[in-house]
Amino acid sequence: MASKIKVFTIASLALNVAVASLLGMQKGNYVSQAKEAYEKKADAYYKQAKNIIDGQNSVIENNAVLWNLACSANLQASSSKEFAILEKRIVNPSIFSSKVTGSPDGKGKLRTVSWNSDYYIVASFDKSNKLVGVNADALLGNAEAPALSEEPEATDDVEETVE
């Protein structure tokens, strides 16, 4: 009987050591799995945040170009031709577009320069093509521009206005 207890004790001890080593290996595996999952999630969140920040930086950069055009036009341009030349020099035609429409009162024309439907400026000209003013309300968040809802009288091409 003593030999059976001795064998049982040795077998039990070997089994306990095997179970303890198995638990140790599993614990290490769980830690590496958790670390890997954390790194994947953190990387995904970082990429999302970077995309958001890059998008905001793009908005800021494009709006800075529109503000530059609006301020420069108020200081330097006195006619639609000068405005078009200034626009051609300041804005990138692959990002920005412009369109010319008649003014709502029929006493002149409006030139809208935008990079999307939410961010734009509207330059107003009288019948003799003199610059009346530049409306930057859309850049301030007060977008109610009649120029965006009307059909254009001329194409987007800056060259047509520069004669």
The per-residue pLDDT string of the chain (163 residues; one tens digit each, 9 = 90 and over) reads: 778 888 888 888 888 888 888 777 777 677 788 889 999 999 999 999 999 999 999 999 999 999 999 999 999 989 989 999 999 999 888 889 888 888 787 888 999 999 988 899 999 999 898 999 999 998 888 866 444 444 444 444 444 444 3
As given in the structure block, the two tokens for residue 153 are 């009288």
Cα(133)–Cα(115) distance, rounded to whole angstroms?
A: 20
Cα(125)–Cα(109) distance, rounded to whole angstroms?
A: 5
